[in-house]
Amino acid sequence: MAEGDDVRTRLLAALPHLTPTALRVAGVIRDDPAGAAQLTVNQLAERSDASTSAVVRLAKILGYEGYPQLRLALAAASTEPGAPVFATDIVADDALGQVLQKLTAFETEGMLATADLADPTTMEAVVGALVAARRVVIIGIGASGLVAMDMDQKLTRIGMWSHSYTSEDGALVQTSLLREGDVLVAFSHSGETSSIVDATRRAIEAGATTVAVTGAPQSRLARSAAHTLLVAGREDGFRSAAMASRMSQLLVVDALYVGVLQRTPASAQALRRTYEAIAPQRRYGTGLERFGETRAGVPAVSEIGELTTESVNPRTTALDSMSVTELLRAMNAEDAGVAAAVARAVPDIARAVETIVAARGRGGRLIYVGAGTSGRLGVLDAVECPPTFGTDPGEVIGLIAGGPGALWRAVEGVEDDPRAATRELSALTPELGADDVVVALAASGRTPYAIGALQYARSVGAAAVSVSCNRDAELTAYADVGIEIETGPEVLTGSTRLKAGTAQKMVCNMLSTAAMVRSGKVYGNLMVDVNPSNVKLVDRAQRIVAEATGVDSDTAAVLLAAADGHAKTAIVMRLAGVTQAQAHRLLAEADGSVRLAVQG
């Protein structure tokens, strides 16, 4: 790893865990690494409105002996040919295209940093433990729980005994039943989720091998687990770590999955058998012809082998002979091309965002629909919107073929029934209508369930958006806005949960985040509609109020309490000098925009 890459990786990994003062210093460095390298410790402290001791402490947090060593590393980073720069924060004045480009840069930044943080020895040890495991239990709460479900689905598909638990009780009960020879994989970006930490402790006491996947190397979870895999994902004012860290967590899951496949021929055979079990249904077209629902001008038969996502990747034909490090580098190199593929689709993504914003302005909903990995990614984006943007759970909805049970256990064959999507969409309350937007996700671009969803959406006047990973996808023909991200052959042939899954996650992040920015859910780059539903989010809400109004943390806490915990109301109360009731009225008149409420 080059020294410049190292300082960028260290800073990115540390950002979510720094104090406000350290964050100010880190912000100056992040925004202009070359300029920061020219500053003395006193100059950097003055520019950051911090003390020189705070600058030195940050240098030590990043692993340097002192500021001179950090300054040298920054200088090296600035002079490296093609050295990457940090993704810059989204601001309210950014054009929609800029918002989408910055989101792409954020995702790429996190995945590259995760690859740099990967320790080959630890990765080898974790893969070895999984291969030898009697059974594997995977736990996570909230969005981390959905990543746990994804890993469970992958391991189950290759014949391993695994199960994911995404509730506190389930995690605690199941880990208490583990014993020597079992493996626990625990997901928590903060590494401080109490139920996950407690469950890991129980697994250790039971003699199981424990693996932590976290973004906090000094957290309780990281310190207690036998093996720790670090992921990077930087938060900013309205983009939660859940949006970036989950991409990094999925990258780690993919690497472990392929590592197990490399080392166990039986796993590869199990994958082949499960594929062959459903191949007859997939091979003979979309499945629509079985129900007399083919569409004029769209072929009823689409051979899977003709799809680029199903073709053999010539760059990874020696996958089973690579070391873990070589494997990670190969996967990272392939993933690097995903961001560029998404960037080429920005104009279509922008059209979809404008469609969603218009629908939200009429009181409509954003509804993700998909099967398998595509469905899980839609659900993941939907469940992150309420805590991040303060939306009602009914405003952004995720539907997966096979129902909620398909989130944690693969339900094969359900994707081939287009009428299943019709049944689920028609059961929504209130009924699907012209004010709603349905986004159908399908890597292949020809999944009958996704096609059925868009057919029904258009039949009732709802806007239809498709997201696929093949050019000239059948799904596009059923959409008002078609987004095609041509990701090409997968590292593991046909495993579209890899690059295609990454691309779909990036698009979902863009759709929801950009739509919420344009819907008045942010002020500056602060997520002022955050729902402070736990201790971490209460602290974040206080920091948002302090940052937006310029008050200290104690005053921010008082303001937040006076606003019944609503950061947006507290900010308007302070900046406009009004009461809570008056702030509510101003926000209502400004359609929820803090900026307009204060200016008006």
What distance in Å separates the CA atoms of residue 467 and residue 539, rounded to the nearest whole number? 36
Q: Which residue in the block uniquely carries the two structure tokens 């080392």?
A: 263
Starting at the earlier edge strand, list the strands of the sheet with 162-165. 162-165, 136-140, 183-187, 209-214, 227-230
Joined tokens for residue 511:
């759709």
Q: Please give the radius of gyration of the chain, using alpha carbons only, rounded to the nearest integer.
A: 24
Choose the catalytic residue: 334, 415, 424, 474. Answer: 415
Q: Which residue in the block uniquely carries the two structure tokens 């990077």?
A: 232
Q: What is the CA 492 to chain-centroid distance, rounded?
A: 21
What distance in Å separates the CA atoms of residue 572 and residue 574, rounded to the nearest whole number? 5
What distance in Å separates the CA atoms of residue 167 and residue 531, rounded to the nearest whole number? 20
Choose the catalytic residue: 107, 334, 384, 474. Answer: 384
Joined tokens for residue 26:
């880190």
Helices 96-117/346-361 angle, 10° precision: 120
Is 180 tagged catalytic? no
What distance in Å separates the CA atoms of residue 396 and residue 382, rounded to the nearest whole number? 5
Residue type, 403: G
Q: Which residue from 507, 494, 502, 501 is spatially nearest to 373, judged by alpha carbons?
A: 501
Joined tokens for residue 100:
């989408």
What distance in Å separates the CA atoms of residue 409 and residue 406, rounded to the nearest whole number? 5
Is 205 tagged catalytic? no
Helices (H), strands (E): how many in the chain?
25, 10
What per-residue string of b and e applies to 564-575 under the rule 16 or more CB within 10 Å gives b? Answer: ebbbbbbbbbbb
- Assess contact for 401 and 371: CB atoms under 8 A: yes
Tell me which residues are annotated as active site.
384, 415
